[in-house]
Structure 1
Amino acid sequence: MGRPEAAVTLSFEPSERFRAAAAEWGDRRHVAPEEAFEVKAEQALLEVEYLVSGATEVEFDVADGTVAYDPSPELRALLEERAEEVGLDPAVLLGLYVDLFASVFLEGGEA
Protein backbone atom coordinates (compact mmCIF):
# COMPACT_ATOMS: atom_id res chain seq x y z
CA MET A 1 0.00 0.00 0.00
CA GLY A 2 1.14 3.55 -0.71
CA ARG A 3 1.57 6.15 1.95
CA PRO A 4 -1.31 8.57 2.48
CA GLU A 5 -0.66 11.96 0.97
CA ALA A 6 0.46 14.59 3.45
CA ALA A 7 -1.99 17.39 4.12
CA VAL A 8 -1.08 20.69 2.54
CA THR A 9 -2.69 23.71 4.15
CA LEU A 10 -3.54 26.53 1.78
CA SER A 11 -4.16 29.95 3.29
CA PHE A 12 -5.80 32.92 1.62
CA GLU A 13 -7.48 36.20 2.47
CA PRO A 14 -10.96 36.40 0.94
CA SER A 15 -11.68 39.40 -1.28
CA GLU A 16 -13.58 42.51 -0.28
CA ARG A 17 -16.42 41.21 -2.47
CA PHE A 18 -16.54 38.05 -0.35
CA ARG A 19 -16.37 40.02 2.90
CA ALA A 20 -19.20 42.32 1.78
CA ALA A 21 -21.39 39.36 0.80
CA ALA A 22 -20.71 37.68 4.16
CA ALA A 23 -21.55 40.90 6.00
CA GLU A 24 -24.78 41.33 4.03
CA TRP A 25 -25.73 37.71 4.67
CA GLY A 26 -25.05 38.17 8.39
CA ASP A 27 -26.96 41.46 8.60
CA ARG A 28 -30.04 39.87 7.07
CA ARG A 29 -29.93 37.06 9.61
CA HIS A 30 -28.78 39.08 12.63
CA VAL A 31 -25.59 37.02 12.81
CA ALA A 32 -22.34 38.40 14.22
CA PRO A 33 -19.86 39.42 11.49
CA GLU A 34 -17.26 36.81 12.50
CA GLU A 35 -19.83 34.02 12.46
CA ALA A 36 -21.23 35.19 9.11
CA PHE A 37 -17.72 35.21 7.64
CA GLU A 38 -17.11 31.65 8.82
CA VAL A 39 -20.48 30.41 7.56
CA LYS A 40 -19.93 31.94 4.13
CA ALA A 41 -16.37 30.57 4.00
CA GLU A 42 -17.69 27.12 4.80
CA GLN A 43 -20.41 27.39 2.15
CA ALA A 44 -17.96 28.53 -0.51
CA LEU A 45 -15.30 25.93 0.34
CA LEU A 46 -17.95 23.23 0.35
CA GLU A 47 -19.24 24.29 -3.07
CA VAL A 48 -15.74 24.18 -4.54
CA GLU A 49 -14.81 20.93 -2.83
CA TYR A 50 -18.09 19.24 -3.78
CA LEU A 51 -17.69 20.14 -7.45
CA VAL A 52 -14.20 18.63 -7.55
CA SER A 53 -14.26 15.71 -5.11
CA GLY A 54 -17.89 15.17 -4.14
CA ALA A 55 -17.10 15.99 -0.49
CA THR A 56 -20.06 16.99 1.66
CA GLU A 57 -18.09 18.32 4.63
CA VAL A 58 -15.12 20.64 5.00
CA GLU A 59 -12.96 21.64 7.95
CA PHE A 60 -11.00 24.87 7.97
CA ASP A 61 -9.65 27.54 10.28
CA VAL A 62 -10.10 31.30 10.26
CA ALA A 63 -7.64 33.59 12.00
CA ASP A 64 -7.37 37.34 11.53
CA GLY A 65 -9.45 37.23 8.35
CA THR A 66 -7.33 34.51 6.74
CA VAL A 67 -8.83 31.15 5.83
CA ALA A 68 -6.64 28.05 6.17
CA TYR A 69 -7.85 24.88 4.47
CA ASP A 70 -6.45 21.41 3.74
CA PRO A 71 -8.03 20.53 0.39
CA SER A 72 -8.89 16.98 -0.58
CA PRO A 73 -6.29 15.20 -2.72
CA GLU A 74 -8.53 15.76 -5.76
CA LEU A 75 -8.88 19.49 -5.17
CA ARG A 76 -5.20 19.84 -4.31
CA ALA A 77 -4.24 18.12 -7.59
CA LEU A 78 -6.57 20.38 -9.58
CA LEU A 79 -5.26 23.51 -7.88
CA GLU A 80 -1.64 22.48 -8.44
CA GLU A 81 -2.29 21.69 -12.11
CA ARG A 82 -4.12 24.97 -12.76
CA ALA A 83 -1.58 26.95 -10.75
CA GLU A 84 1.23 25.61 -12.90
CA GLU A 85 -0.71 26.44 -16.07
CA VAL A 86 -1.34 30.07 -15.12
CA GLY A 87 1.69 30.80 -12.95
CA LEU A 88 -0.17 31.43 -9.70
CA ASP A 89 0.10 29.92 -6.25
CA PRO A 90 -2.52 27.21 -5.51
CA ALA A 91 -3.69 29.21 -2.48
CA VAL A 92 -4.39 32.22 -4.71
CA LEU A 93 -6.45 30.05 -7.03
CA LEU A 94 -8.41 28.61 -4.12
CA GLY A 95 -9.16 32.15 -2.97
CA LEU A 96 -10.38 33.04 -6.47
CA TYR A 97 -12.61 29.96 -6.61
CA VAL A 98 -14.03 30.76 -3.17
CA ASP A 99 -14.73 34.30 -4.34
CA LEU A 100 -16.90 32.93 -7.15
CA PHE A 101 -19.34 31.75 -4.50
CA ALA A 102 -19.35 35.01 -2.50
CA SER A 103 -22.98 35.79 -3.19
CA VAL A 104 -24.34 32.24 -3.07
CA PHE A 105 -27.34 32.01 -0.78
CA LEU A 106 -28.11 35.75 -0.86
CA GLU A 107 -31.74 36.46 -1.61
CA GLY A 108 -32.47 37.84 -5.05
CA GLY A 109 -29.07 36.83 -6.43
CA GLU A 110 -27.44 40.13 -5.46
CA ALA A 111 -23.68 40.18 -5.91
Structure 2
Amino acid sequence: MKKFILSFTTAIVLSFSGQAFAGAGHSHGVSEPISEAQATQKAEAIKQQLVSSEQVSSEWKGVEAGSPQQRSTSAGNLWVIEYANPQAADENKAKLFVFVDEFGNPVGANHTGEL
Protein backbone atom coordinates (compact mmCIF):
# COMPACT_ATOMS: atom_id res chain seq x y z
CA MET A 1 0.00 0.00 0.00
CA LYS A 2 2.89 2.31 0.81
CA LYS A 3 4.29 1.90 -2.74
CA PHE A 4 0.86 2.61 -4.23
CA ILE A 5 0.52 5.89 -2.31
CA LEU A 6 4.06 6.90 -3.25
CA SER A 7 3.42 6.12 -6.94
CA PHE A 8 0.11 7.97 -6.91
CA THR A 9 1.64 11.02 -5.22
CA THR A 10 4.55 11.02 -7.68
CA ALA A 11 2.16 10.85 -10.63
CA ILE A 12 0.14 13.81 -9.28
CA VAL A 13 3.25 15.91 -8.65
CA LEU A 14 4.70 15.18 -12.08
CA SER A 15 1.43 16.01 -13.82
CA PHE A 16 1.57 19.57 -12.43
CA SER A 17 5.33 20.11 -12.80
CA GLY A 18 5.05 21.24 -16.45
CA GLN A 19 2.96 24.21 -15.39
CA ALA A 20 5.58 25.22 -12.86
CA PHE A 21 8.16 25.70 -15.62
CA ALA A 22 5.95 27.77 -17.92
CA GLY A 23 7.42 31.25 -17.99
CA ALA A 24 5.50 34.48 -17.85
CA GLY A 25 5.88 37.51 -20.09
CA HIS A 26 5.11 35.99 -23.44
CA SER A 27 2.01 35.22 -25.43
CA HIS A 28 0.99 32.51 -27.82
CA GLY A 29 -1.88 34.63 -29.09
CA VAL A 30 -2.18 36.51 -32.35
CA SER A 31 0.39 39.27 -32.91
CA GLU A 32 -0.59 42.79 -33.87
CA PRO A 33 0.01 43.91 -37.46
CA ILE A 34 2.96 46.25 -37.93
CA SER A 35 2.73 49.83 -39.11
CA GLU A 36 4.04 51.30 -42.36
CA ALA A 37 7.06 52.74 -40.53
CA GLN A 38 7.82 49.39 -38.90
CA ALA A 39 7.55 47.64 -42.28
CA THR A 40 10.10 50.09 -43.70
CA GLN A 41 12.47 49.42 -40.77
CA LYS A 42 12.15 45.64 -41.23
CA ALA A 43 12.76 45.97 -44.98
CA GLU A 44 15.85 48.10 -44.36
CA ALA A 45 17.26 45.43 -42.04
CA ILE A 46 16.54 42.75 -44.64
CA LYS A 47 18.19 44.82 -47.40
CA GLN A 48 21.30 45.36 -45.26
CA GLN A 49 21.42 41.62 -44.54
CA LEU A 50 21.22 40.88 -48.28
CA VAL A 51 24.10 43.30 -48.90
CA SER A 52 26.26 41.90 -46.09
CA SER A 53 25.67 38.32 -47.26
CA GLU A 54 26.50 39.41 -50.84
CA GLN A 55 23.14 38.25 -52.18
CA VAL A 56 22.74 41.71 -53.71
CA SER A 57 25.40 44.17 -54.79
CA SER A 58 26.91 46.58 -52.26
CA GLU A 59 25.56 49.44 -54.41
CA TRP A 60 22.20 48.89 -52.63
CA LYS A 61 23.64 49.81 -49.23
CA GLY A 62 22.77 53.51 -49.39
CA VAL A 63 19.59 53.32 -51.48
CA GLU A 64 16.53 54.71 -49.70
CA ALA A 65 13.17 52.94 -49.57
CA GLY A 66 10.13 54.13 -51.47
CA SER A 67 6.67 54.22 -49.92
CA PRO A 68 5.57 50.83 -48.59
CA GLN A 69 2.46 49.37 -50.16
CA GLN A 70 0.20 46.61 -48.93
CA ARG A 71 -0.76 43.69 -51.15
CA SER A 72 -3.40 41.13 -50.45
CA THR A 73 -2.24 37.63 -51.39
CA SER A 74 -3.42 34.11 -50.79
CA ALA A 75 -0.86 33.97 -47.98
CA GLY A 76 -2.33 37.08 -46.31
CA ASN A 77 -1.50 40.77 -46.39
CA LEU A 78 2.07 41.69 -47.28
CA TRP A 79 4.02 44.90 -47.14
CA VAL A 80 6.01 45.53 -50.32
CA ILE A 81 8.88 47.99 -50.00
CA GLU A 82 10.52 49.08 -53.24
CA TYR A 83 14.07 50.37 -53.56
CA ALA A 84 15.05 52.07 -56.83
CA ASN A 85 18.68 52.40 -57.89
CA PRO A 86 18.96 54.33 -61.16
CA GLN A 87 22.75 53.85 -61.13
CA ALA A 88 22.51 50.04 -61.19
CA ALA A 89 24.83 48.43 -63.74
CA ASP A 90 22.13 45.98 -64.88
CA GLU A 91 18.86 47.63 -65.96
CA ASN A 92 16.93 44.49 -64.98
CA LYS A 93 18.24 44.87 -61.43
CA ALA A 94 17.58 48.59 -61.00
CA LYS A 95 14.81 47.88 -58.48
CA LEU A 96 14.78 45.75 -55.36
CA PHE A 97 11.51 44.64 -53.79
CA VAL A 98 11.39 43.43 -50.18
CA PHE A 99 8.32 41.54 -48.96
CA VAL A 100 7.34 41.52 -45.28
CA ASP A 101 4.20 39.92 -43.89
CA GLU A 102 1.73 41.95 -41.85
CA PHE A 103 3.42 40.86 -38.60
CA GLY A 104 6.95 41.87 -39.67
CA ASN A 105 8.31 38.51 -40.77
CA PRO A 106 10.48 38.52 -43.92
CA VAL A 107 8.83 36.74 -46.85
CA GLY A 108 11.31 37.38 -49.65
CA ALA A 109 13.11 39.85 -51.87
CA ASN A 110 13.73 40.08 -55.61
CA HIS A 111 14.23 42.44 -58.52
CA THR A 112 10.94 41.68 -60.28
CA GLY A 113 8.31 42.63 -57.71
CA GLU A 114 6.54 39.31 -58.25
CA LEU A 115 6.00 37.06 -55.31
User: TM-score with structure 2 length normalisation?
Assistant: 0.33
Higher strand proportion, which one? 2
Greater relative contact order structure (CA < 8 Å, 6+ sep):
1
